[in-house]
Structure formats: C-alpha cells, structure tokens
Chain A
Amino acid sequence: MRTALERRHHENTATVTDPRRSFDIVLRVREFGIIAVLVVFVAVTYGIQHRFLSGQNITFILFDTTIFAFLALGEAMVVIARCVDLSVGSVLGLSAYLCGRLFSVVHGIPIPVVFLVGLLIGLGCGVVNGLIVAVGRVPSLVVTLASLYIIRGIDGLVVGGGVVVASSMPSSFITMGKATIFHVPYVTIVVAILIALGAYYLRSYRSGRELYAIGSNPEAARLVGIRTGWRVFNAFAVSGAIAGVCGVLWASYFGTVDSTAGTGYELQVIAAVVVGGVAIFGGSGTVIGAALGALLLETINTALYVLGISSFWDSAIAGVLLLVAISLDHTITLHVTAARRKRGNRLVT
C-alpha cells in the first residue's frame, strides 16, 4: 500500500516537474527577496555609519530578533495551517512574570527548571487554544482573541501592581542572555537551531507537510484522511509552548517584568511572519522566511536608530514593507497558480 502510494507519488513528481520547479524557484526567490532587502539595508546603513556593524550593535540586533523570530516560528506553523494565534503576547507576559517570580519563591531554583516551567505554562495555554479551535471548530481568530484577553487578565490579577525586578533574579539568569560568542548571543544560536529544526520538520516530515495541506484546503485535507484537528491542535500547542519559553527569555533580557510585558506583540509577530512570506490564509511560506522577516523588521528598527533618522519613521517603513510583501506574494501566487493551471490542462489533454 505504502510503496504503491510512494510510487504514484514519484510518478506524479516526475510528470509534474515543471510547475514544481517553477514553484521552488519562486519560493527561493521569495526568501532571496527578503535577504536581498536585508543586505541592501545593512550595506547602505553600514556605508553611512560604520558603527552599525559593530560587535555590540550586532549583539543588540540579534538578541532583539531572537524572541521575535522564535515567536514567529510558532506563529508561522499556526498560520501555515490557516489559523492565527493572537494570544502569544499574553502568554509571553504571563510566563515572564510567573517565571520571574519563581526565583524569589523558590530560592536557588535551577535555570533549566524555570525554562521548563515557562514551557509548561505556555504549553498549557496553547493546549487550551488548540482544544477549543480543533474540537469546537471555532475560528481561531476569535478563540485566540478571547484568550488574549483572558490570559492577560489572569496575568493582571496575578501580578496586581507587582513588578519583578532584576535584583530578585539570580545574576546568572540575567547575564545568560547577554553571553556571546563572536558577538552572537548563545541564546540566538540555540533559537536558530530550533528554527532550522522546525524548517526541516515542516519541509520533510509528513506531519509537517500536512500542515501545508490543511492550510491550502482544509476540507480537501480532511477528505484525504489528514487528521486536521489533531494537527491544528499540535500547532497551537507548539506556538503556546514557544511563547512560554520566550517569556522566560524576556524576563532574562529585560530584567523587569510587570503586567504589561509583551503587550501588542501578537500583531508584530504576525507582521514578521507575513513579511517573511507566509500567506496569511495558510498553505505556503517557511519558518525560515518568518524568522528572516523578524530579523528584517528588527534590523530596520536599529538601522534607523543608528542612522540618526528619528525612530518615528520606523513603523511607517515597516508598514510599507509589509504591504509590499503582501502584494508581492499575491502577484507571485497568481502567477504560480496560472502556471499550474496551464500545466494541468496540458496533462489532461
């Protein structure tokens, strides 16, 4: 059964080489596009102000990107499956506060345990989101909008007017994020590896490909036997868990956590994902692209600062970039679909 299927799959790929190849190229172009914009931006900024590529500045950009790129990994998986997770900012905030507090509640708690707690807090939130979306078959936008409020509300109730300050956390935890090798924070390396693993999973594993199938056509995916609910549930669980871990990173990096930590991150993360070429209605895009999108937005942010252009221009440029990215993707998709249709017709005749 399996081999027959595989053989058929093989034949299919053999006969439909053309659109596949064109599609691949387009995808590659898509990521090249982001990299090209990134390189141009960095080059121009460096040309004007050499300080931009100073080690310290690189560290700064990379750390800021790390949290966003990591969040974008989870968000991209959800978006690829034609859902959306608006609760990541709230989950991050809750996890950041609780984990920050943990240090003063349990003295001498090992840092990995704190990460584990953050992960579990996030996982819990993600599991609830995923359950409601998958079992209730309720639109994820509404569910996660609700959980955005609920989790932030719980956060507020727990935190009250409280603040976790850097002095209440062990110094090894605070400096952890700042430790670097060749100006690259260790945390960034770890996250980059995780993103690479995520990319490999989505590209090469059946369950990863199924997310794309669900995003392209949920109904068709279900009819061919993909357990759509289970896959979507998993995507939400992963996204939540990642947001939880990001909360711990956030606490480590900023040192001060109150009830507003991570407010408004959700739309920024989605923006990064979309800039990175993940279609907002699912089915295409990669997590590498999403991470690059986060890097690009963060780089622009810093570049403007370094160039002495008022940082007030930052959002406007990011907004234009996002709109250009969406328009570009749309045009590309139209072309690819047209090409496929043409090819499909030829196969039929």
Chain B
Amino acid sequence: MSPEKAAGQPGVDLQGKLPAPAGPDGTVPSRANLQRWMRWETGLAVLLIGTVVFGISVSSEFLSSYNLFSLGLSNGEIAIMVLPMALIVMTGEIDLSVAANLGLSSSMVGYLWTHGWPMPGIIVTVLVLGLVLGTFNGLLVTRLGLPSLAVTIGTRILYGGIAEIILGSNIISNFPASYTNIGVTAVPHTDLSFSALVFLVLAVVVAIVLHATPLGRSIFAIGANKEAALYAGIRVKRIKTGLFMLSGVMCALAGILYTFRLSTAEFDNGTGLELPVVAIVLFGGVSIFGGKGSMGGVVLAVLVFSGIQNVLLLTNFNQEGVGVVTGGLLLLSVLAPNIGELRGRAVQYIDRFRRRPIADAEPGA
C-alpha cells in the first residue's frame, strides 16, 4: 500500500509539474499532518460531547448506570479488537480475520467445555490458540511477503471454516453461571462491564507503548516508510508478526468474553464484526496507508461510535439507519482532513475535462 501513499501525498501534479524532489518528504508533511490529526481528534472530542449532550436531551436514561453498563457491554469485544487492529493498520497492514478468530475462539470454548475441560484450562488454551492463529497470519504476511489484505480474507474464511468443522450446527449454552455472570454484571463499584474494563486497561497500555516507547515509534516508522524503517535497523518483519500475534490473542480474549456475554458458543459468533472494527480504526484518524494516527483518536472513535449507536437505540431510531450514520462518519473522516486540497483537485479536474477533447479520441485497439 505504501506506493499509493507516496503518490497521494504532496501536490504532485500542478499543471503537470513533477513532484518536488523526494528529500524533505518525510519531515515537512508529517508536521503538517500532526496538526491535521490534532484537529481530527479535537473534532472527535467535540462529536463525543455532542453525542452525550444529545443523548441526555433525548433520553433521561442515557446517563443511567444501567445504560452505561449495557453500552460498554455491547461494544466491549469490538473495542478490544480495535486496539491491535489500530496498531496493524498503522504499520500499513490490515487484519480482516479478527471476527473469524473471535468466532473460532468462541467455538473452541464451547467445544472444550462439552468435552469436560475445566474453564481455566479452556481460557488458557483458547488464548494460546488465538496466538497461533495470529502467528499464522503474521508469518504469511511477513515471511512469505504476501499482501495482508488478501491473506486475511483467506484466513478469515479458513478460521471461520475451522469453527464450523469444530462445532457444526451445535449450539453450546450450558456454561457455568460463575463465568457467564461476567457478561451480565458490572465490575464492582462501577458501571463498567468487564469487557469495557479490559478495553480501557489495554487501551492505556497500548497508548503508552505506542506513544512513549521506541517500539511505538518503530510502528509509526514502518507505516510511514517500510524500506527506510528497515535501513534504520528496525526489525520490520518481527514487529509486524508480533502485532498479528497480539491481534490473535486479543481476538481470542474477545471471543471468550463474547461467549460468556451471550452464554452461547456458535460457529458464526461475531460474523461480520471485522468491518466495524476497521471502520472504527479509520474513523479514529488512523491512515489506511499506515504511519499516521493516535491511540487517543482511536479510543475517542470507539466512544463516539458506541455512543451514537446507543443514542439511536434509545430514541428508537430505526436500527438499520445506524449504518448510514456509521458510513457517513467514516466517509467524513477521510474527506474532512483534506477538504481544502479536495477543492483544488476538483477545480483541476474540471479543468482537465475541458482540455480533454483534444487529448484523445480513441475507441479501442
């Protein structure tokens, strides 16, 4: 994906002029981008405040502890999967197998439970399995050098298939209440669901690692320019593999929580969740080409996303319409940061159309 990025970056074709020499490319736009993303996060924060204000005004239930709990509960697993996805996207890769991984983990919980395993053993096994699934993705992407978009569409089908083989059409739901209670009770003394708590803790850890450690800088560097990162001595493949492994474990964790929340294990648990996860990451200001973004933005995006969904639910707005809002925001997130640039391009485009008839009249051959 990186060449496309280089193409899209500076104002390349002002009346057919060649782009400026590649020298300062790395530094100058990145500072401009920093400001741009700062602004995007401010926008997200404003949007979040707006959502909360709107929520309070339309429903007295919005800030009730039950609503806050269920808000966290229904979005906790997605939120957990968002964190590693954000890191992976920042390196310029993508992982579309997250939901399948969740489903397989959930199926595995059910399968092992029906085979009489003790629950702690199951949890450890499933987390290890998640690690294996993530490693498989990572190795295919880094060691074989395959595009992650294609690979993880493949493993998405594969993992989903394995889940189907394991569980077939069985639905397992006789989990012990001591575990499924995790899904229906809040963490003591708070309104947080367990999954939301896990998310918040992990988000803090990931944010610190990303923004305050050499590893975090490396992740940005890989996404900004893989070759440069490699020559700077960053272990590109190892870090990418590590992130896919992290994603695997996190998805397994999400799968376990998902199973306890619904107290059912089915092979198609979580089907289709990969796209909301990607959408939230992009909405949070992470560039699909990597190298840009922040954990603050991603966390805000999670909050805005779940907040809006919740408000729409409370106002009995047609649930199907949530997609319009989600998609609209996503579109806004890519268009808004460069609206000025866009206008310039639009003008240029119209210009090019005017000159077009002379350029070619070419049907075929």
Q: How far is the CA of A49 from the CA of B91 in the complex (A)?
A: 49
Q: Give the chain A neighbours of B49 by CB distance below 8 A.
A: none
Question: Looking across the interface, which residue of chain B has its beta carbon closest to that of A153?
Answer: B323
Give B contacts to A, CB under 8 Å. Answer: 1, 3-4, 6-8, 12-13, 96, 140, 144-147, 149-151, 153-162, 164-165, 168-169, 267, 271-272, 275, 278-279, 282, 288-289, 318-328, 330-331, 333-335, 342, 345-346, 349, 352, 356, 359, 362-365
Asked if B161 and A138 make an inter-chain contact with CB atoms under 8 angstroms apart, the answer reads no
List 25 A–B pairs whose Cβ atoms lie within 8 Å, in order of A's numbering.
Answer: A132-B335, A135-B346, A146-B327, A148-B275, A150-B327, A150-B331, A153-B320, A205-B364, A206-B362, A207-B362, A218-B3, A219-B7, A219-B12, A227-B359, A259-B320, A264-B272, A271-B153, A310-B168, A313-B165, A316-B157, A316-B158, A319-B161, A322-B153, A326-B147, A326-B154
Q: How far is the CA of A67 from the CA of B224 in the complex (A)?
A: 39
Excluding A147-B331, A151-B327, 18 further A-B contacts by CB distance (< 8 Å) are A84-B149, A135-B346, A139-B289, A142-B333, A145-B275, A145-B282, A150-B324, A156-B320, A205-B363, A222-B7, A222-B12, A227-B356, A313-B161, A315-B161, A316-B157, A318-B161, A320-B158, A322-B154
Asked if B321 and A157 make an inter-chain contact with CB atoms under 8 angstroms apart, the answer reads yes
| Overall SS of chain A's interface | helix
Q: Which of A285-323 contact B (CB under 8 A)?
A: 310, 312-320, 322-323
**With A310-B168, A312-B161, A319-B155 given, is the CB distance from A148 to B327 under 8 Å?**
yes
Give the distance to chain A from B116, nearest Cβ to Cβ, in Å: 23
Q: Give the chain A neighbours of B335 by CB distance below 8 A.
A: 132, 136, 138
Give the distance to chain B from A326, nearest Cβ to Cβ, in Å: 5
Question: Looking across the interface, which residue of chain B has its beta carbon closest to that of A139?
Answer: B288
Asked if B13 and A222 make an inter-chain contact with CB atoms under 8 angstroms apart, the answer reads yes
Q: Which of A270-295 contact B (CB under 8 A)?
A: 270-271, 274, 280-281
Question: Looking across the interface, which residue of chain A has its beta carbon closest to that of B162?
Answer: A316
Closest 4 CB pairs of A and B: A156-B320, A319-B158, A316-B161, A153-B323
Q: How far is the CA of A151 from the CA of B331 in the complex (A)?
A: 13
Asked if A157 and B318 make an inter-chain contact with CB atoms under 8 angstroms apart, the answer reads yes
Asked if A281 and B147 make an inter-chain contact with CB atoms under 8 angstroms apart, the answer reads yes
The answer to whether A28 has its CB under 8 Å from any CB of chain B is no
Q: Give the chain A neighbours of B319 by CB distance below 8 A.
A: 156
Question: Looking across the interface, which residue of chain A has its beta carbon closest to that of B18?
Answer: A223
Give the distance to chain A from B51, nearest Cβ to Cβ, in Å: 18
The answer to whether A32 has its CB under 8 Å from any CB of chain B is no
- Chain A 1-17 interface mask (CB, 8 Å, partner B; 1/0): 00000000000000000
The answer to whether A160 has its CB under 8 Å from any CB of chain B is yes
The answer to whether A149 has its CB under 8 Å from any CB of chain B is yes
> Which residue from B155, B320, B364 sits with its C-beta under 8 Å from A157?
B320
Asked if A152 and B330 make an inter-chain contact with CB atoms under 8 angstroms apart, the answer reads no
Give the distance to chain B from A12, nearest Cβ to Cβ, in Å: 17
**With A139-B334, A271-B154 given, is the CB distance from A219 to B3 under 8 Å?**
yes
Asked if A317 and B147 make an inter-chain contact with CB atoms under 8 angstroms apart, the answer reads no
How many residues in A have their beta carbons less than 8 Å from beta carbons of B? 62
Q: How far is the CA of A311 from the CA of B150 in the complex (A)?
A: 24
Q: Give the chain B neighbours of A31 by CB distance below 8 A.
A: none
The answer to whether A204 has its CB under 8 Å from any CB of chain B is yes
Q: Give the chain A neighbours of B365 by CB distance below 8 A.
A: 204-206
Question: Looking across the interface, which residue of chain B has its beta carbon closest to that of A314?
Answer: B161
Asked if B161 and A153 make an inter-chain contact with CB atoms under 8 angstroms apart, the answer reads no
Q: How far is the CA of A327 from the CA of B136 in the complex (A)?
A: 14
Asked if A160 and B328 make an inter-chain contact with CB atoms under 8 angstroms apart, the answer reads no
Question: Looking across the interface, which residue of chain A has its beta carbon closest to that of B159?
Answer: A319
Q: How far is the CA of A312 from the CA of B164 in the complex (A)?
A: 5
Q: How far is the CA of A1 from the CA of B346 in the complex (A)?
A: 31
Give the distance to chain A from B336, nearest Cβ to Cβ, in Å: 11
Q: How far is the CA of A229 from the CA of B348 in the complex (A)?
A: 12
Asked if A135 and B349 make an inter-chain contact with CB atoms under 8 angstroms apart, the answer reads yes
Q: How far is the CA of A327 from the CA of B324 in the complex (A)?
A: 37
The answer to whether A263 has its CB under 8 Å from any CB of chain B is yes
Q: Give the chain A neighbours of B364 by CB distance below 8 A.
A: 204-207
Q: Give the chain A neighbours of B359 by CB distance below 8 A.
A: 225, 227
Asked if A312 and B165 make an inter-chain contact with CB atoms under 8 angstroms apart, the answer reads yes
Give the distance to chain B from A63, nearest Cβ to Cβ, in Å: 22
Asked if A327 and B331 make an inter-chain contact with CB atoms under 8 angstroms apart, the answer reads no
Asked if A263 and B272 make an inter-chain contact with CB atoms under 8 angstroms apart, the answer reads yes
Give the distance to chain A from B88, nearest Cβ to Cβ, in Å: 14
Asked if A137 and B318 make an inter-chain contact with CB atoms under 8 angstroms apart, the answer reads no
Q: How far is the CA of A132 from the CA of B162 in the complex (A)?
A: 38
Give the distance to chain B from A207, nearest Cβ to Cβ, in Å: 7
> Which residue from A138, A259, A280, A312 sits with its C-beta under 8 Å from B168?
A312
Q: How far is the CA of A154 from the CA of B328 in the complex (A)?
A: 11
Asked if B3 and A217 make an inter-chain contact with CB atoms under 8 angstroms apart, the answer reads yes
Give the distance to chain A from B153, nearest Cβ to Cβ, in Å: 6
Q: Give the chain B neighbours of A280 by CB distance below 8 A.
A: 147, 149-150
Q: How far is the CA of A302 from the CA of B164 in the complex (A)?
A: 17
Give the distance to chain B from A209, nearest Cβ to Cβ, in Å: 10
